[in-house]
């Protein structure tokens, strides 16, 4: 655990985040929303689904819908091996495809700020706010909004 987190450990108004990296940027997901972290294997593409849905895979007998965070955030497709963060919403299993998973951080509200006004709209719709860490900034990801945004059907080619 990083030093920034250690300072505020045990304080009741602090929030715990699972940190992930997408295209070089650090994001934080509220730990309560994350079910598990896994290495995705054998993703089946879903024909005619919207672009940000990478496909579905079988995770211990459950069908998990994979959301490509790079595509959702308007970044170019990465070449790195990817990781996935499993999320559950209204009984359905989703997973966010990200570049890599970092530490779990306990962050104090004092380092929290709302989105800077000049942040691109593509990002503000998924960003709840920003935490100032010592070395970089952590964008708090609004998981509900991410899941609510995906969908929409691509018309048949």
Partner 1 sequence: MDDLLREFLTETSESLDVADGELLRLETDPNNRDILNNIFRLVHTIKGTCGFIGLARLARLAHAAETLMDEFRNGRPVKSGAVDLILRTIDRIKLILAEIERTDGVEPPGADEDLITALEAEAAQETVEEEVVAPPLAAAMPAPVETASAAGTLERELLPGEVPLDELERMFRETAVEARPKAVPAPAPALAPKAAEGEPAAAGHDPAAAAAQTIRVNVSVLEHLMTMVSELVLTRNQLMEISRRNEDSEYKSPLQRLSTVTGELQEAVMRTRMQPIGNAWQKLPRIVRDLAHELGKHIELEQHGAETELDRQLLDQIKDPLTHMVRNSADHGLEMPAARRAAGKPEKGTIRLAAYHEGGHVIVEIADDGRGLDVSRIKAKAVENGLCTEADAARMTDAQAFRFIFQAGFSTAQQVTSVSGRGVGMDVVRCNIEAIGGTVDVRSKRGEGTTFTIKIPLTLAIVPALIVESTGERFALPQTSVVELVRVRGDSEHSLSFIKHAHVLRLRDRLLPILDLGSVMGLSCHWGERPEGELIVVMQVGSQRFGVVVDSVSHTEEIVVKPLASVLRGISLVSGSTILGDGRVIMIIDPNGLSQVAASRSDKTGEATKSEADAAKNADSNRMSLLLCRAGAEGLKAVPLALVTRLEELDAEDVERLSDRCVAQYRGTLIPILYANDEVERKTSGKQPLLIFSEGERTMGLVVDQIVDIVETAFELKLSSTSPDIMGGAIINGTATEVLDVAHFVQRAFGESFDIPVGHGHERNGRLLLVDDNAFHRAMLEPVLKGNGYAVTTCTSASEALEKLSGDARFDAVVSEVDLRGLDGIGFAERVRSELHMENLPIIAIATGGDADSIERGRMAGFTDYVAKFDRNGLLAALREFAVHEDEEKAA
- By the criterion CB under 8 A, which residues form the site for partner 1? 42, 44-49, 53, 56-58, 60-63, 65, 90-94, 147, 150-154, 156-157
To partner 1, the closest distance from the beta carbon of 85 in angstroms equals 16
Whose Cβ is closer to partner 1: residue 6's or residue 63's? 63
Whose Cβ is closer to partner 1: residue 54's or residue 130's? 54
Whose Cβ is closer to partner 1: residue 37's or residue 49's? 49
Sheet of 83-89, strand order: 34-38, 83-89, 92-98, 62-68, 53-59
To partner 1, the closest distance from the beta carbon of 87 in angstroms equals 11
Residue 46's contacts (CB-CB under 8 Å, 6 or more residues apart) are 53, 55, 56
To partner 1, the closest distance from the beta carbon of 134 in angstroms equals 38
Q: How far is CA 133 from CA 30, 42, 65, 92, 122, in A?
A: 16, 36, 32, 33, 23
CB 141 within 8 A of CB 115: no
To partner 1, the closest distance from the beta carbon of 145 in angstroms equals 14
Rounded-to-integer distance, Cα 93 and Cα 65, Å: 6
Whose Cβ is closer to partner 1: residue 92's or residue 103's? 92
């Amino acid at each position: 655990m990083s030093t920034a987190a250690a300072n505020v450990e045990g304080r009741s108004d602090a929030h715990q985040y699972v940190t992930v990296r997408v295209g070089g940027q650090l994001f934080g997901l509220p730990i309560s929303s994350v079910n598990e972290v896994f290495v995705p294997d054998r993703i089946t593409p879903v024909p005619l689904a919207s672009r940000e849905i990478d496909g579905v895979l079988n995770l211990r007998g459950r069908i998990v819908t994979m959301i490509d965070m790079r595509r959702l955030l308007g970044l170019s497709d990465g070449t790195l091996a990817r990781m996935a963060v499993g999320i559950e919403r209204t009984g359905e299993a989703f997973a966010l495809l990200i570049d890599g998973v970092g530490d779990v951080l306990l962050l104090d509200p004092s380092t929290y700020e709302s989105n800077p006004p000049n942040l691109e709209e593509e990002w503000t719709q998924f960003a709840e706010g920003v935490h100032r860490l010592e070395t970089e900034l952590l964008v708090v990801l609004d998981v509900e909004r991410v899941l609510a945004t995906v969908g929409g059907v691509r018309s048949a080619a």
